[in-house]
Structure 1
């Protein structure tokens, strides 16, 4: 027992230092997903998180984040917010692919130089009990463009949960959704909030992305995600990003 405690005391600081180095490495690749509209105040706003992959101009986020912006931002320019010193820089982007089934979207930055890109890992190797981390912008504009990292473990690898419905709620759209094949997602014990959607789920040792945060389990009304978070978060395995994406934006 004493030997185990000694080993733990020796390993824990190293693990913490490893995570700190990884956080420094991944932060330049993580952006806010938002829009610009000169006639509103503030002109720039963001509602979710994304991260850069590939050539440094491709951004991955959750599809529902993009949908929320498109549906609410009439006349606004879609784009990403990049942390630049103490301020945020807006860079226009366009939707190049949307996978609504897996809640994934790809954007293409159309302004400025390439950003540092994150590497995609093999999400098929992730196991229950594995320690991971995710970094994003919880609560969006409320906390501002300040990176926040949550450490977590994979509590379960489980089929995506479908909310219970009644016969009165069963319409054509819901029926089609129920007929789609279910797929496994990562259930995490870390707490995500609105704004965390689209955050990269990564290996603390090397920063390789193995998932994309897509939602938090909510007890009751939507506001409960803030006032009484459940501590249960879901992430889509990153291997779905390696599949040929569907073209188009909506």
Structure 2
């Protein structure tokens, strides 16, 4: 009720203003104008994605939204809508079903670029300038919530620079326009019919978040260049923290610089001699300031765009000392490991990636771990668990996924009576050996039932 009254009050003020500017203008026409601009470019996205977390290969359907941004059929959506997609089908505003392919995707900002498999020109929407968005501005969230074909929800911009700790490079637009399941990847539109954000997160109590259009522009420009290799970023190994972090009660008596809260081992930062508690004040003669949490995404973005393999010249404050530290930068590389299903073993595997699975990478920086275990198969019977790190199979070290694949393929050629292997694994830092018997073909057993 309170929200309704507040929106009604703001709406009345807006109508007064628009009536002063143009007596023939009303809010209904403004909404219709925005809808006319963007609705034809709105697409409903249906993806078939592959999931291996249950220990076997399972295909599931994911629904989402997207917006066409060019007449030749480029579409922006969320990374999580098309992640691990085997096929993508888009339903256009005229009800045509069109296949699409992934051009590129960025997990860190949850933005993806796909392209319609279509020859004729299609209607498209224009991206606006999100830096001009202000609190209290009216917006429309468009998409396909709950699998419905099209919808519009109406609301206000609540905040233009919302910091979310699991989103390293983005300050979000917060809105009270409803963003429901299926709205992901759809556009947040202003009253001029311009896309000012891509809807990504929705929740209870009318809280929703969108990636600002200027961040989206930067990401898609790079995805067009680098494609499925994703957005290249430089890696430092530094965990940054604001000087005045009220969430963790870390309040330093300083007004410039950024606090070093963590240093990853074997990283450029550790090799440069950076320590937890240092305050970085300059990098390559540029002042570095992250006084508050909202300053962190800009700092992380700056460091991520430094030239790979170059030397970053840091000025740090360590206690009462001012030190100059050269730091040789490295390419961040992949943020997620490849996967593999060992069907006869009834488990799935994934490459260790220090960005995606840092706890596992703490025990072993490179290698393969168990992603999932089928509870009705061989792996579960002999005690394998999720996140077990595979060290050796039959005394052969496993450092990369291809080595495990090779052993698996060779194991299928063994006579049924000899389908046994000795695994050496690490589980939470402790070494175990498992005598693994996979003579039973559980897939065939299930088929015969």
Q: Considering the TM-score relative to the shorter chain, is it more than 0.5?
A: yes
Distance 2:138 2:187 in 1: 14
Task: Assess, with a 3 A threshold, how the Cα gap between structure 1 residues 154 and 208 changes in structure 2: closer, same or farther.
Answer: same
Name 1:57's counterpart in structure 2.
Answer: 73
1:245 pairs, out of 222, 245, 252, with: 222
Deviation at 1:15, TM superposition (A): 1.9
Give the one of 191, 195, 198 matched to 2:185.
198
* Structure-to-structure mapping, 1:53-202, within 5 angstroms: 53-67=69-83, 70=85, 76-84=86-94, 88-140=95-147, 143=148, 145=149, 147-162=150-165, 181-202=168-189
Larger Rg: 2
- Following the alignment from structure 1 to structure 2, what is the Cα–Cα distance between the partners of residues 6 and 79? 40
**SS of the residue 1:59 aligns to:** strand
Cα separation, 1, equivalents of 2:32 and 2:189: 13
User: How many corresponding residue pairs?
Assistant: 199
Runs of 4+ in 1 over 4 A off after TM superposition: 8-13
* Alpha-carbon distance in structure 1 between the residues aligned to 2:14 and 2:68: 40
Q: CA deviation at 1:134?
A: 1.6
Partner of 2:205: 230
Q: CA RMSD in A?
A: 2.7
- Structure 2 unaligned spans of 5+: 1-12, 50-60, 231-449
Aligned pair in 2 of structure 1 residues 7, 191: CA closer, same or farther (>3 Å)?
A: closer
Q: What TM-score do the two structures reach when normalised by structure 1?
A: 0.71
SS in 2 for 1:139: helix
Give the match for residue 19 of structure 1. 31
User: CA 1:62 to 1:36, structure 2 compared with 1: closer, same or farther past 3 Å?
Assistant: closer
Taking structure 1 as reference, are residues 56 and 46 closer, same or farther at Cα in structure 2, changes over 3 Å only? farther
RCO higher in 1 or 2 (8 Å CA, sep ≥ 6)? 1
> Which residues of structure 1 form unaligned runs of 5+?
38-44, 71-75, 163-176, 218-228
Task: Look up the match of 2:200.
Answer: 214
Question: TM-score w.r.t. structure 2 length?
Answer: 0.41
Shift of 1:242: 1.9
